[in-house]
């Protein structure tokens, strides 16, 4: 199967003064296939949001390629990119901050249609807006209201309707539920799943909540300090994690079944995520890894396939 999106050695660095570089994304590679949900997880500061924004070209990449429809989108002209842009949309974490408070819901949802001059008449455009609102479980009565009149869950529905306006193939969902009440989170995730089936969407789903990612994702990639540490099908990753960092993240998830809890050794993640400014050679996880050996400080482990479809970057896989 051909991937819909191929991310190749993607890098995004920020200059933070005095020649220092913040290496938010430092050479990650993965494919996303048609109709799948690819989960991207890691603690805050691991580079997952920056990766999402660079893949959709909201940020300019420092290095690497994103292949969509057989072309590296970083090389496209402004005109060709405008066309690709319709297919690459984003849903943001904070539905309040990402919606203009002075615009009605109808104007917010219609804005992408205006920008791309898709509709010939006002009537046609308004009909499309109502259609989009209904797709996300809202209706005509919501159209003339303002974002502050809505609950967090409803605002996220508006954000989703807006992202769908141009019939995209691919949507980056950047922590779309982390700002919502727990009671609302499942509703929004189920809506995203429903829309995926109905519209044939492909998602990159960014999150730090591993349990929700497991529920929605076909495959999951685990990032740490700008590097991809592990990647596998969801079930495989959760049942058979190979990387010490993934094991630690998983052991931090509260497990409802007490029998399982007793058998799983909890690995404690000591300390904070180190700074991604001017990172040293070697494994990025070394300061927090209980399996670290001398080699881990000197040589950066290669991200490679260990079992079919299961990739990990660690010097000690097979020993631990
Ligand atoms: Fe730990 Fe070394 Fe593996 Fe890094 S390479 S995760 S420090 S054992
Ligand atoms: Mg983030």
| Helix, strand, coil percentages, rounded to 5, for the chain | 35, 25, 40
Residue found by looking up tokens 């209904």 in the block? 134
CA of 58 to the centre of ligand 1 (A): 33
Cα–Cα distance, 167 to 305 (Å, whole number): 35
- Pick from 225, 241, 244, 245 the residue to mutate for probing ligand 1's pocket: most ligand atoms within 8 Å of its CB: 244
- Pick from 281, 293, 306, 312 the residue to mutate for probing ligand 1's pocket: most ligand atoms within 8 Å of its CB: 293
243 CA closest ligand 1 atom index? 6
The ligand with the least distance to the CA atom of 294 is 1
Predicted confidence band of residue 267 (pLDDT cuts 50, 70, 90): low
Which stretch of DSSP H or E encloses residue 54?
Answer: helix 48-55
CA distances from residue 193 to 76, 125, 156, 190, 239 in whole angstroms, order as listed:
31, 26, 15, 5, 23
| pLDDT, tens digit (0-9, with 9 covering 90-100), for 163-186 | 999 999 999 999 999 889 888 999
| pLDDT, tens digit (0-9, with 9 covering 90-100), for 78-127 | 999 998 999 999 999 877 777 899 999 999 999 999 999 888 899 999 99
Q: What domains, with CATH codes, occur in the chain? A: 3-87+171-184+200-312 (3.40.50.300)
Residue 290, Cα to own-chain centre: how many angstroms?
28
- Nearest-CA residue for ligand 1 atom 3 is 314
What six digits make up the tokens of 59?
A: 């940020």
| pLDDT, tens digit (0-9, with 9 covering 90-100), for 12-31 | 999 988 889 999 999 999 99
- Pick from 241, 316, 320 the residue to mutate for probing ligand 1's pocket: most ligand atoms within 8 Å of its CB: 316
Binding-site residues, ligand 1, Cβ < 6 A: 244, 283, 285-286, 289, 291-292, 296, 301, 314-316
- Report the pLDDT value the prediction gives residue 262, as an integer from 0 to 100: 41
Residue 257, pLDDT above cutoff 90: no
What per-residue string of b and e applies to 282-319 under the rule 16 or more CB within 10 Å gives b? bbbbbebbebbeeebeeebbebeebeeebbbbbbbbee
Cα–Cα distance, 320 to 316 (Å, whole number): 6
CA of 206 to the centre of ligand 2 (A): 8
CA of 175 to the centre of ligand 2 (A): 7
Which range is least confidently modeled, 19-23, 142-146, 210-214?
210-214
Contact 223, 23 (CB under 8 A): no
CA of 228 to the centre of ligand 1 (A): 13
CA of 32 to the centre of ligand 1 (A): 27
Which range is least confidently modeled, 13-17, 65-69, 229-233?
13-17
The ligand with the least distance to the CA atom of 174 is 2
- Comparing 238 with 272, the larger pLDDT belongs to 238
CA of 244 to the centre of ligand 1 (A): 7
Q: Is the pTM of the predicted complex or chain greater than 0.80?
A: yes
296 CA closest ligand 1 atom index? 2
Residue 8, Cα to own-chain centre: how many angstroms?
16
CA of 193 to the centre of ligand 2 (A): 21
């Amino acid at each position: 199967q051909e991937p819909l999106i191929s991310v190749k050695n993607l890098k995004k660095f920020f200059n933070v003064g005095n020649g220092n570089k913040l290496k938010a994304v430092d050479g990650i590679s993965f494919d996303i296939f048609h109709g799948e949900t690819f989960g991207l997880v890691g603690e805050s500061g691991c580079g997952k949001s920056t990766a999402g924004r660079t893949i959709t070209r909201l940020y300019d990449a420092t290095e690497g390629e994103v292949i969509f429809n057989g072309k590296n989108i970083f090389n496209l002209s402004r005109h060709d990119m405008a066309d690709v842009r319709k297919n690459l949309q984003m849903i943001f974490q904070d539905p309040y901050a990402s919606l203009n408070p002075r615009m009605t819901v109808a104007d917010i949802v219609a804005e992408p249609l205006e920008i791309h001059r898709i509709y010939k008449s006002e009537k046609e455009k308004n009909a499309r807006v109502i259609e989009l609102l209904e797709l996300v479980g809202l209706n005509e009565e919501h159209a003339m209201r303002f974002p502050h009149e809505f609950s967090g869950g409803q605002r996220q529905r508006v954000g989703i309707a807006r992202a769908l306006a141009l019939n995209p193939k691919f949507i980056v969902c950047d922590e779309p539920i982390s700002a919502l009440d727990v009671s609302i989170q499942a509703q929004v995730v189920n809506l995203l799943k429903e829309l995926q089936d109905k519209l044939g969407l492909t998602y990159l789903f960014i999150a730090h909540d591993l349990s929700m990612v497991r529920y929605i994702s076909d495959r999951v990639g685990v990032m740490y300090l700008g590097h991809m540490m592990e990647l596998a099908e969801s079930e495989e990753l959760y049942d058979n994690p190979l990387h010490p960092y993934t094991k630690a993240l998983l052991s931090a998830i509260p497990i409802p079944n007490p029998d399982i809890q007793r058998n799983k050794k909890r690995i404690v993640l000591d300390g904070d995520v180190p700074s991604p400014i001017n990172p040293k050679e070697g494994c990025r996880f070394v300061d927090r890894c209980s399996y670290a050996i001398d080699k881990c400080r000197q040589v950066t482990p290669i991200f490679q396939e260990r079992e079919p479809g299961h990739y990990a970057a660690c010097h000690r896989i097979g020993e631990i």
